[in-house]
Homo-oligomer: A and B are copies of this chain.
Amino acid sequence: MTRVPAPRLPTVSDVASVAGVSRQTVSNVLNSPDIVRPDTRGRVERAIADLGYRPHASARRLRTRKSSTIGIRLDPVQNGISGAVLDRFLHAVTEQADARDHRILLYTAAGPDDEIAQFRRLLDGADVDGFVLTSTFFDDPRTEWLIDAGADFVTFGRPWGLDDMGDPQHRWVDVDGRAGVASATDDLLAGGATHVAFLGWPEGSGAGDDRRRGWRDALGSRGALDPVSIDALDLAVEDSVPLASAAVRAVLDAGVAVDAVVCASDTLALGASVVLGSSVPVVGYDDTPVASALGLSSVEQPLVEVAGAVLSLLLDDSEPRHRLLRPRTIWR
């Protein structure tokens, strides 16, 4: 096998001369086919196919000032087990971006400031023309910077700061964790459980508080427990298996009856199930491979739909500017 000296790839001009038209007509066939007369279009398309022509991405980007590329930050793997969620989301986004003729560019960042520096780099270099942000948090400086810079972006995750929720500048997609946890709790109550505990994170995280609220909603409307008993079933620890185990063990040791446990994450669910065994139902959150491997039920985020919604908001700038999707519980 000999290495050939890379014959120059065909360009619009090559296609044009083969088809007997001008460069611009070829360009039109590619970008606005409807303004080209059908028979001309046919000839050009045949020439494109014959030559195996492909537009040169960089040349197009230089001229149009668009990169057809979306930046996404690749988070460092967390201590927990739920890292896989971002992974699945990323996969779904990449696949759907592909279908829309867009590319996904990765970057990493040590913190918000570092990430903003990356925004600048990628935007100034015309590497990307928009961002998908994940893991939003209270008063996120990143979104503010992007809005000021006039950059396109969509977040997966609501802005948890107070008044940003309705801001049309800030497009977002999120999953209704509250409704998801409420529905899972409802199902458990309907199945005969009365003492359904919640194992979540300490107050202060938007998503975590939201999920806890869902559990309280369900217990409040369907349950038959007084406020004091409810508070006794409300557990909060950092996202770690041993801490979760310890918290559950402590409650049992205190003599509190527990029929079932709903958790804010699969990590916590794993910790709970280690203590409780298979006699007490445990419901996790995120439906990670671990949950399915161990046969734990879990609330699944519709990541493929989320990805679709994110791209649609980013690229089609459709209305409405926000989308809240419902998760569903996978019972095992």
Contacts and interface: CB of A to CB of B under 8 A. Distances in A.
A105 B104 contact: yes
Nearest to A95: B108
A289 B57 CA distance: 39
A106 B108 contact: no
Most chain-B CB neighbours within 10 Å: which of A57, A87, A94? A57
B98 A88 contact: no
Interface string A73-86: 01111111101100
A254 interface: no
A294 to B, nearest CB: 7
Contact of A9 (B61, B124, B147): B124
Contacts of A67: 58
A253 interface: no
Interface in A54-112: 54-59, 61-62, 67, 69, 74-81, 83-84, 87-88, 90-91, 94-95, 98, 103-108
Contact of A270 (B69, B78, B98, B293): B293
Interface string A248-278: 0000000000000000000100110010000
A121 interface: yes
Contacts of A148: 1
B94 A108 contact: yes
A150 B103 CA distance: 23
A162 interface: no
A58 B62 CA distance: 5
Contacts of A104: 105-106
Interface string A123-166: 01111000000000000000000011010000000000000000
B81 A77 contact: no
Contact of A106 (B1, B90, B270): B90
A294 B244 CA distance: 12
A40 interface: no
Contacts of A271: 293
Interface string A1-45: 101101001000000000000000000000000000000000000
A276 to B, nearest CB: 15
A290 interface: yes
A64 to B, nearest CB: 9
Interface of A: 1, 3-4, 6, 9, 52, 54-59, 61-62, 67, 69, 74-81, 83-84, 87-88, 90-91, 94-95, 98, 103-108, 120-121, 124-127, 147-148, 150, 240-242, 267, 270-271, 274, 289-290, 292-294
